[in-house]
């Protein structure tokens, strides 16, 4: 978990030293984000009047915020402090359901799902969709992803493995074009199928985001993808 966002409001003198040097005074709001980014906002405009992005060090004490990063230095001193506090901070994302482990809400941002309260985190493929169904075993939302077939499985890999599901469907399902081997399902970053006779045969293809709908003339399957119909072998020109 992050140690939160710290804020201070007050009539302050802000001194910035670095690429430009500037001193400003006024009633401002200072925000120190969990990544040590410091933002000083005044009443005008929407941009901060001073800031330091992901500072190496930040200290907040007794109405003073000091941040430094290499040659850059930012100090905000409150002559009159209106208030200061530390608040919880989490990743904001699209709500996808209640957390089964705590009263929090699960949100999806980028390629993972996190709980706003307990911080539980589940990675998921960027092309996965979450449609409101829940895992019968653990209560987490399920994700739907296309890897040769449409597969609906638990967000938690330890509860239900996407890789195992894809193996059940497609391990040894297709022949290698270059030898008599079978193509095995494996993971090298993404899911792919590779010849069982590796390293003698280095035939391998990444599994596209799509559903197998038939056979290509070359013997490999054809996939219906968002980009259209294509052979498992992306270099194969014998498309249907
Ligand atoms: Zn939770
Ligand atoms: Zn589960
Ligand atoms: Zn082979
Ligand atoms: Zn083909």
Q: What is the dihedral of CA 73, 79, 80, 81, to 10 degrees?
A: 20
List of long-range contacts for 94-99, beta carbons under 8 Å, 24+ apart = 96/130, 96/141, 97/130, 97/132, 97/134, 97/140, 97/141
CA distance 109 to 92: 7
**Residue 240's pLDDT is what?**
46
**Residue 238's pLDDT is what?**
52
Q: Hunting for tokens 């330890």 — which residue is that?
A: 158
Q: How far is the CA of 98 from the centre of ligand 2 (A)?
A: 14
Q: How far is the CA of 222 from the centre of ligand 4 (A)?
A: 7
pLDDT by position in tens, the chain (length 240)? 457 999 999 999 999 998 889 999 999 999 999 999 999 999 998 999 999 999 999 999 989 999 999 999 999 999 999 999 999 888 889 999 999 999 999 999 878 999 988 989 999 888 999 988 999 999 999 999 999 999 999 999 999 999 999 999 999 999 999 998 999 999 988 899 999 999 999 999 999 999 999 999 998 999 999 889 999 998 886 544
**Residue 72's pLDDT is what?**
95
**Residue 184's pLDDT is what?**
96
Q: How far is the CA of 153 from the centre of ligand 2 (A)?
A: 8
Q: How far is the CA of 97 from the centre of ligand 2 (A)?
A: 14
Spatial CB neighbours of 79, under 8 Å, sequence gap ≥ 6 = 10, 11, 12, 13
- In this prediction the pTM is 0.70
Q: How far is the CA of 234 from the centre of ligand 4 (A)?
A: 8
CB 25 within 8 A of CB 13: yes
**Residue 1's pLDDT is what?**
44
Quick: pLDDT tens for 104-144.
999 998 789 999 889 899 998 889 999 889 999 999 999 99
**Residue 239's pLDDT is what?**
46
By the CB criterion, residues less than 5 angstroms from ion ligand 2 are: 135, 137-138, 140, 154, 159
**Residue 189's pLDDT is what?**
85
Q: How far is the CA of 183 from the centre of ligand 2 (A)?
A: 29
């Amino acid at each position: 978990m992050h140690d939160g966002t710290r804020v201070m409001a007050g009539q302050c003198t802000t001194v910035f030293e670095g690429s430009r040097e500037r001193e400003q005074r006024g009633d401002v709001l200072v925000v120190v984000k969990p990544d040590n980014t410091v933002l000083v906002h005044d009443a005008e405009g929407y941009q901060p009047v001073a800031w330091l992005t992901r500072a190496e060090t930040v200290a907040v004490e007794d109405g003073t915020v000091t941040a430094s990063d290499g040659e850059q230095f930012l100090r905000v001193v409150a002559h009159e402090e209106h208030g200061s506090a530390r608040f919880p901070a989490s990743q904001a994302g699209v709500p996808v359901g209640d957390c089964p482990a705590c009263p929090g809400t699960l949100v999806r941002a980028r390629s993972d799902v996190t709980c706003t309260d307990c911080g539980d985190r589940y990675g998921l493929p960027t092309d996965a969709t979450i449609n409101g169904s829940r895992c019968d075993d653990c209560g987490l939302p399920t994700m739907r992803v296309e890897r040769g077939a449409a597969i609906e499985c638990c967000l938690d890999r330890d509860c239900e493995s996407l890789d195992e599901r894809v193996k059940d469907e497609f391990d040894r399902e297709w022949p290698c074009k270059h030898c008599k081997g079978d193509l095995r399902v494996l993971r090298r970053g993404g899911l792919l199928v590779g010849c069982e006779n590796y390293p003698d045969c280095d035939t391998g293809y990444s599994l596209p985001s799509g559903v197998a709908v038939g056979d290509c003339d070359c013997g490999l399957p054809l996939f219906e993808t968002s980009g259209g119909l294509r052979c498992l072998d992306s270099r194969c020109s014998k498309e249907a």
